[in-house]
Chain A
């Protein structure tokens, strides 16, 4: 149980285009999902907290107009990187907060974005 998927697993796009990344909780409902980014040889950096049916909460320094988050259902959150630039190239990882147990998070496999 507690499986989180992401799609796509990798994407290459041209500078100036937008890219959408999906995060799904496959066998549980997730009222809260989180989005992280990770640069090579660095730790995960929390970008935003996504709550079903409400606006996402962004961490300081993260541009909400550039990284659009939608959490329209209890099993799906999407991250759209708008007008992507090479510096947005990174590994994007989502996680879902379980509703049972001690609230551990379950992570997706990540999406590698390369902007040319």
Chain B
């Protein structure tokens, strides 16, 4: 199963773009990359997912490298409410299971 590696913590100034990296060097060709975030004492919230192409929605953009070994989640204009733990997940091959890594604790500073 593909594992993910993320920095444990990051700070970002309010109003600036937050760029959260994720390494998934063992990803297989048909495995999607999913991003979720978890605000304290709540269930994880879906943000975005992708396979090969870059994706954008109302919350964020996802940039996947051409070799698919890494990706970056971009929050274009971070707000204080974006302070959370962000998880990058590659779904276990052949199943629907998610295996969570340790995530990145993003702190948006006023």
Residues of chain A whose beta carbon lies under 8 Å from any beta carbon of chain B: 2, 4, 6, 32, 34, 36, 43-46, 49, 91, 93, 95, 97, 102-110, 112
Contact = CB atoms under 8 A, between A and B. Distances in A.
A2 B46 CA distance: 10
Contacts of B36: 107
A43 B96 contact: no
Contacts, number: 58
Interface in B28-69: 32, 34, 36, 38, 41-46, 49, 51
A2 B44 CA distance: 13
A44 B44 contact: yes
B contact face: mostly helix, strand, loop, or mixed: loop
B42 A43 contact: no
- Interface size bucket, B side? 20 to 34
Given A34-B98, A102-B32, A105-B98, A43 B43 contact: no
Contacts of B98: 34, 46, 95, 105
A6 B32 CA distance: 27
A50 to B, nearest CB: 11
